[in-house]
Amino acid sequence: MDYRPLGRTGLDVSAICLGTMTWGKQNTEAEAHAQLDYALDHGITFIDTAEMYAIPPSAETYGTTETYIGTWLKARGTRDRVILATKVVGPGFDFVRDGDPRLDRKNIVQAVDDSLRRLRTDHIDLYQLHWPDRSTNMFGRLGFRLNPAERMTDPAETLAVLDELVRSGKIRHVGLSNETPWGLMRFLHLAETRGWPRMASIQNPYSLLNRTFEVGLAECAIREDCGLLAYAPLGAGTLTGKYLDGARPPGARMTLFPGMTRYATGPGLRAIPRYVDIARRHGLDPAQMAIAFCLGRPFMTSVIIGATTMDQLAADIAAAGVALPEPVLEEIEAVHTEIPNPCP
């Protein structure tokens, strides 16, 4: 396993991060613990979760994933061996707190305390803003359109309370998620001019099907030492090839949740078999090729994997040892040029 700097924090994190959003929906507590044990034994030191998890979100499963991680940390005594990241939700879910979650002082203070309780720890290593508290283009939207009636919490208020929490010791470092170049640079400017915590990372989608991060954020990530934590590197499992020709394997995510259509677009359905074919013709596992491609990007800090079975987990972690030869990379670029970003 490779280990890479987490921004300018002085921490090194495993190049593969263990994602957890299925725990409490598709995976039981015992299965979550087994995944954590295996990942730690195979060099993964970085765990990512969120107060919102499990996904798809619901009032019944809200906070469950953090709870499972907390029981594992208590049972195994492994808190000092892992770097633990979680997230606070932005607006949009009426079952969170008082029904109006924002990235304001009141919400963030309560969210941190609730996460610490569920995680059974006295500090969070990386605390991330799950999505912006403003109208912007995220979750599959490419074009930006300002909402004149938006309610936006001032980023200065958000970063000021994060500064208080860092000073208190409850969180160590801060990061962004589902953010834009404007948002990233605004937070970095506030940190530099007011002495507040600097964003250490940005967690956005990135895969063979969605390379929009390269357009505006890649340069920011490299020049500002605020690397990408890539989520959905397998495009919700589509890049494994298991959904080809309309297949819906029992227990698979798109079988259980057919409303998840982000990776079922027309262009995506044309691109996915092309990428799977490249892998198979070169004797590669399609999932490992997809993850290895992400790992090779110069702006990448860590690639977040998620699995519902131990076989999937083992294969995904093994991608850390896969080096893609130049002919594979050239074929990937050819498909990308022909069908760019089919599933943003």
Tens digit of each residue's pLDDT (9 = 90 or more) over 107-132:
999 999 999 999 999 999 999 999 99
- Per-residue pLDDT at 268: 93
Q: Give the type of residue at 259.
A: G
Is 284 inside a domain boundary? no
Mean pLDDT, rounded, for 248-262: 83
Is 218 inside a domain boundary? yes
The model's pLDDT over 282-330, given as tens digits with 9 standing for 90+, comes to: 999 999 999 999 999 999 999 999 999 999 999 999 999 999 999 999 9
Q: How many CA atoms lie within 13 A of 213 on its CB side?
A: 32
Cα 287 versus chain centre, distance: 17
Is 335 inside a domain boundary? no
Q: Work out the mean pLDDT of the chain and round it to a whole number.
A: 96
Is 31 inside a domain boundary? yes
- pLDDT-derived band of residue 263, with 50, 70 and 90 as boundaries? confident
| Total domains, the chain | 1
The domain spanning residue 121 has which CATH number? 3.20.20.100
Mean pLDDT, rounded, for 95-118: 96
pTM recorded for the entire structure: 0.96
Residues classed as catalytic: 53
Mean pLDDT, rounded, for 210-222: 97
Parent domain of 222: 3-240+294-324
The model's pLDDT over 119-172, given as tens digits with 9 standing for 90+, comes to: 999 999 999 999 999 989 888 888 898 888 889 999 999 999 999 999 999 999
Is 280 inside a domain boundary? no
Is 20 inside a domain boundary? yes
The model's pLDDT over 40-81, given as tens digits with 9 standing for 90+, comes to: 999 999 999 999 999 999 999 999 999 999 999 999 999 999
Is 333 inside a domain boundary? no
Q: DSSP letters of 41-100?
A: HTT--EEE--TT-SSS--TTTTTHHHHHHHHHHHHHT-GGG-EEEEEE--S--TTSTTS-
